[in-house]
Structure 1
C-alpha cells in the first residue's frame, strides 16, 4: 500500500482550469490554495478554493509568472504540491526544478522531460532517434539566413518556418516561394525573440491538407504507459484550436492503435511521467508525422474524459502521489463521440479581435451526462485585457458523431451571454456547416470556408421588433400595477389611455444607429403593432427572462435581458441588441371631444356616475379592464352627465361611446 503524500495543492493558475482542478481535488478530499492577481481579486477560482493568496499586479509577468513568489506562498500555506494547470508556468522546467528543490511535489512530468520537449528542434532529434516519423525538414543549430534559405530550397516549397521555443501559433510563417523566404524568416525571428527570448527556428515541409491529430498519453513511476486515444483539433484559427473532437472521425482502428503506440514510444523516449499530449500532422494518404509534445494537461482534455469516463486530473494527482496507473491499455474504455467548443469574448465581425468588459448576463445550457460546461466566470464577472479571453468550454457527448454534433448545436443555441461580443453564433454556424458535418477536415478548414462562415450583424427582423415592443408594453404594465398611486387614475398609471380616441404607445428602438418606430395600439387581449407599413397582432407574457409571444398566430419564445434601456434578445444562437430610446408611454393628453369613447376593447367593471350628475374636471367616471389592467376614465371638463351607455359587466368595443354630456 502506497502512503499518499499530497494533502494540500496550490494551483498556480487561474480561471476555468483552476476551478476544474479544485473540483477534482475536493472530490478526492484534498485542500486547495488559490493565487490571484489584482485583476482576479473576486474571481471564481478564488471563491472556490479553501484559501487564496494575493500574488501581484494584473499582468501575468507580475503575478502568475512569478515562480519564486508562488513557491513562497506554497510554503506559507503548507501546500506540499503544486498543480500548474496549462499555460503560464506549466511547461517551465526552471519552475518544476524550483518545486523539487523546495520539497514541493510538482504535479507534472520530470524536469528532464520538460526540457527535452521545450525545444522543438531538440524534441525532433530525440524523436528521430526513437524512430518516430517526422516531416522532412531541418532542425539543426546552423541559423545563418543563407543556410536556412538553402535548406528550404532543398526541401521544396511551401515550407513552414517555426520558432523552436514557440507555441500558441507565435513564431510561425508559411513560405510559398523562395523569393519570400528571407523576409518571412526575419519576421518570424523577430516575433520569436519578442515572445520567447529566443530567435532560433526550424524549417519543415508544409503539408497542404493536413489534419491535426493528437494522442493523450499517461505514464507513471512504475514503468506503465498508456494512451487514451486521440483528439482531432484540425479546426483552428491562427494556429489556435476552435473546436476539438474525440475520437478523430474517419480514423481506422488499425491507424488509431498505430498512432497510439508511436505516442507511447515518444513518451518512453524522454522518460515521461503524468499526463502529456503527442501532436501529429496527419496527411491525406494516412501518413502521420510527429509535430510536438505538450508536457502538460491540454485545454481540450475534457473530450477525452467524455469518451472514456475518466478524470484526467485525478489520474495526474494519483501519479504524482506515486500510485500506478489504474488501468492497463486494454482496460481503457471508449464510448461515443465528444466535441468541445471554446466560448471566447471576441468579435467575429471584427476579425475576431478580443473583447473585454463586464458580463451582465450569462445563462448556461442545462448540464447533465451529455452536456458539460467548464468555466471560471459567472454573470457579473469581467473579461480582462490581461488574460486569455476564453469565457468557457462547452463539451458535449453522444453515442455517435452525428448525435453529438446535434447536441453541440442545441447547447450553443441555449448558451446566452450579454455584455460583450462572443463567438457563440459563429460556433453554431461552424457546427452547422455541411463540410464540418461531413468531417471534411484539415487545418485550413476555416480559411477554405470563410465565406460560408461569415456572420453579418443580424438585422432586426419583424418578430424581434414585435418581441421588443411586447416586452416594453408588458414591462410598463407590470410597473404600473405595482407603482400606481391612485388605483382609479390613468394619470398615475401612465397606461397610455387617451380620452375619446384610440389608445396607443409610441416605441422607438435603435440598433446600430438605425431607428425603428413602432406604434402599439391596445386591443382586447392583445396589441396591434404598426411598423414596416404593416399591422401585426401580438400577445404574450413574461416569465422571468423568457418572453412567450404570439405574433399573428405564430407562437414562439425568446429570452431577453435589459439593463439601462439596453435590451438583448436571444433566439436560437443569435442575439439582437436594441436600445429602448423612449420607454415612456404616450402622454395622457386631454381630448376636446364632447363625449367619451372607449379607446380599446374591454369590460366595464365599475360605473361611478349616473345621468344628471354634475362632474368636475378629472373626476373618475368609469373603470374598465383591458389586457389585465384596470383603466379609470375621468371627466375632461366640468359638465353634466346626460346618459351612461354601459353598465358593470358589459363588454365594450373599441371606439364605442361610453358617456354623453348635456349640451352647455
Structure 2
C-alpha cells in the first residue's frame, strides 16, 4: 500500500493527483521551483521540497533532485503526472532503484514507445525519412521523434522550404527534449485526431476505455477534447480498440496510457504514437466511464488486479483548455496576476487560485473545464454556457475563442471538425465581440457610483462628466469615451440615446438597450487599470484610460520589440548588424511558457541594431533589434533616435 506519494510535477496535474490522494487517505509531497514556491500545488500538499532554480532543466527535469526529495520527505511512491519526466525511462528506473514505487508503466515499456519512429515500426508503420523527401511526398508534417506538445513540429508544403524547416525542427527538438531526431509523416489537413485510453494491470488485463476526439488544436496542441469521439463507425472503433490493446500487450504495458491515431476523410486510421502516461484530457474519459484514473493508477501500482471488463460508458463529456494567451495575436502567452477564476456548473481542474501570479517559465494552461451530460449536444451547450458566464479576471485568455468554437456549426455537427479547424476559422473566431460600448458605459457608471465626488445630482443638467475605457483585440485598441449626466431622475447618456440606465451601483449596473434589460457586473481590482465587466452574455476586459495622457517616448521606425516576456532561444542563421532582411522574415525565436514564438522583421531593410542574444531573458516591449526601412530615394537611413543611441 502506498502511504506517502511525491508528485513530480506542478500546476494543474499536480493538484489533480493531490485531490485523489486526499480522497484515498494518501499523504502527499510536492516539489517546486523557486517561481512556484507559493503555488497552489505546494499549498495543497502535506509537505514540499524546493528544487533550486527557475528553468525546468534545473528543477522539474532533474530526476536526481526529485528522487532525493522523495527520500528526504519519507515518500514511498512517485507519480510523474504528464510532461516533464513522465515519459523518461531513466527517471522511472532511478525511482525504482531507490526503492520507491513508480506510478507508471515499466521503464522498458516507456523506452519501447519513447521514440515515435521506433513506435511506428513496432506497430508496422514505417516513418518517412525527412532527408529523402520529394515533391511527390508533400505536404508532410515534420515531428520530433522524442517529444510532443507541438514542439519540433513543422508543416512543409513546398520542397524549397524543407531544408530550413528541418533545421528549425531539429534545433527546437534538441532544445526541448535533448534529442534532435525528427521524422516525417503525410500531412492530412482534414484529418481527425482520435485516441483510445487504455488501462492495464500486471495480471494480463487491458481495458480499452473508449475513444476521444482531440481534433481542435492550435499549434499542434489540443484545445477542445471530447469522449466518445463522435460519428465513428462501429467497425472503425473496434479496429482502434484492437490496435490500442495490441500496442499495450506488445510492450508489457501497465497503468494508464493513450494510443493516438489520425483518421483520414475516407475513414482510414493511421497510428501516430502511444503516450505512456496520463493525458491532459483524461477527465472526459473519467466522466463518461465514472472512474478515477489516478486512483486506478495508484491501485495498479500497488499490484491490484482490474476487473475483467471495464465499466459501461454513460453519456458524453467535453473538455476545454483555458489558456492565458491571446488568440488574436498568434496565441501569444500572457502573464500577470489572476484575480478571479470561477466557472460554475462544470468540473474545473486548475493549478491556480485567485491572487496567484502567472509567470513565463511554464505552460500557459490555466484550467480545464469539463462538462458531462446525457448527450453530446447537451454537454456542448452546458460547457459553452458555463465558460460564457465564467469570471476570469487577470491576463487575457482564450475564453471567448472557446465559447465561439463550441458553438461553431462545424463543431456542433458531430464528427465534422478536424485538425484544420482553427486554420480555417481563426479570424472569425477572434473578431472583436459586440457589446463593448455598453460594457464601457457600465464601467463608467459603476466607477461614478464608487467615487461620486462633489455635486451628486443637479436640478438642471450640467456639463456631462466623461470617462474613457479601452478594449484591445489583436493588438488594436478601441477607446470608448462615455459621457454621462446625473440628474434627479437618473443618469442621462447624451451620446447613447438608445440606452436607458435602469440602476447604477458600484458593483452592478443594469442597462435597458432597445427594451431589453441586462445586468453588468463590474469589478475593478486594486492596483490595476483593468476593469472586468461580466454579463450573462459574455465578459469584457477594459482598460481605464487616464484623463490626461502624458507624452511618451516614440519608438524608432523599424524597431522590433519583444511581444511577450521570454527567453531568446536562437537567432536566424547569419543574422548580424548590416544584414539585409525582408519584411516577415523570422529573425529570432523567443521561448515563453514552453513554446517557441517566431519574431519577424517589421519591415524590409537593413539590420542596424541587434540587442538579442541566445539565453537572454527579456520583458515584454524590450527592444530586440532595429531594421532601418528602405526609402524610395536610396539605401536605408538611420533614424535620429538610433544615431543618439
TM-score by length of 1: 0.77
Work out whether 1:98 is the aligned partner of 2:98.
Answer: no
Asked if the contact 1:460–1:576 (Cα under 8 Å) also holds between the matched residues in 2, the reply is no
For 1:207-246, list aligned pairs within 5 A: 207-246=188-227
1:539 is matched with 502
Report the CA distance between 1:97 and its aligned residue: 0.5
2:347 is matched with 372
| 1:415-461 deviation digits (Å, cap 9, x = unpaired) | 22222110001111111211111142211111122333232376732
Asked if the contact 2:343–2:369 (Cα under 8 Å) also holds between the matched residues in 1, the reply is no
Work out whether 1:520 is the aligned partner of 2:485.
Answer: yes
Q: Aligned partners of 2:202 and 2:406: how far apart in 1?
A: 41
Asked if the contact 1:164–1:200 (Cα under 8 Å) also holds between the matched residues in 2, the reply is yes
SS in 2 for 1:474: helix
1:138 is matched with 128
Asked if the contact 2:436–2:540 (Cα under 8 Å) also holds between the matched residues in 1, the reply is no
From 436, 448, 461, the equivalent of 2:424 is 448
Report the CA distance between 1:297 and its aligned residue: 0.3
Report the CA distance between 1:528 and its aligned residue: 2.1
Asked if the contact 1:470–1:538 (Cα under 8 Å) also holds between the matched residues in 2, the reply is no
Asked if the contact 1:137–1:205 (Cα under 8 Å) also holds between the matched residues in 2, the reply is no
SS in 1 for 2:145: strand
From 69, 76, 87, the equivalent of 1:80 is 76
Q: Aligned partners of 2:143 and 2:351: how far apart in 1?
A: 32
Report the CA distance between 1:26 and its aligned residue: 0.9
Report the CA distance between 1:187 and its aligned residue: 3.0
Asked if the contact 2:532–2:539 (Cα under 8 Å) also holds between the matched residues in 1, the reply is no
Distance 1:575 1:102, change over 3 A: same
Distance 1:540 1:171, change over 3 A: same
2:154 is matched with 173
Q: Aligned partners of 2:14 and 2:74: how far apart in 1?
A: 18
Report the CA distance between 1:82 and its aligned residue: 0.4
For 1:142-221, list aligned pairs within 5 A: 148-150=130-132, 152-153=133-134, 156-221=137-202
From 459, 465, 470, the equivalent of 1:506 is 465
In structure 1, stretches of 5+ residues that fail to align are 129-133, 140-147, 478-492, 584-664
Report the CA distance between 1:177 and its aligned residue: 4.1
| 1:538-576 deviation digits (Å, cap 9, x = unpaired) | 12254x854444457531112221135542212333314
Distance 1:546 1:18, change over 3 A: farther
Q: Aligned partners of 1:203 and 1:391: how far apart in 2?
A: 32
2:519 is matched with 557
In structure 2, stretches of 5+ residues that fail to align are 471-476, 549-645
2:381 is matched with 406
Report the CA distance between 1:466 and its aligned residue: 3.3
Q: Aligned partners of 2:466 and 2:428: how far apart in 1?
A: 36
Work out whether 1:328 is the aligned partner of 2:308.
Answer: yes
Paired residues in the alignment total: 538
Q: Aligned partners of 1:78 and 1:116: how far apart in 2?
A: 31
Q: Aligned partners of 1:236 and 1:337: how far apart in 2?
A: 20
1:351 is matched with 330
Report the CA distance between 1:155 and its aligned residue: 6.8
Query: Which deviates more from structure 2 when the two are superposed, residues 549-558 or residues 60-69?
Result: 549-558
Report the CA distance between 1:36 and its aligned residue: 1.3
Asked if the contact 1:121–1:202 (Cα under 8 Å) also holds between the matched residues in 2, the reply is yes
From 273, 294, 304, the equivalent of 1:292 is 273
| 1:372-406 deviation digits (Å, cap 9, x = unpaired) | 00011111101110110111001111111111111
Asked if the contact 1:244–1:339 (Cα under 8 Å) also holds between the matched residues in 2, the reply is yes
Larger Rg: 1
TM-score by length of 2: 0.79
Distance 1:125 1:298, change over 3 A: same
Distance 1:535 1:155, change over 3 A: closer
From 61, 65, 90, the equivalent of 2:61 is 65
Asked if the contact 2:460–2:487 (Cα under 8 Å) also holds between the matched residues in 1, the reply is no
SS in 1 for 2:380: helix
Asked if the contact 1:343–1:423 (Cα under 8 Å) also holds between the matched residues in 2, the reply is yes
| 1:2-25 deviation digits (Å, cap 9, x = unpaired) | xxx211000011111111101101
Work out whether 1:301 is the aligned partner of 2:316.
Answer: no
Report the CA distance between 1:497 and its aligned residue: 4.4
Asked if the contact 1:57–1:63 (Cα under 8 Å) also holds between the matched residues in 2, the reply is yes
Q: Aligned partners of 2:444 and 2:330: how far apart in 1?
A: 33
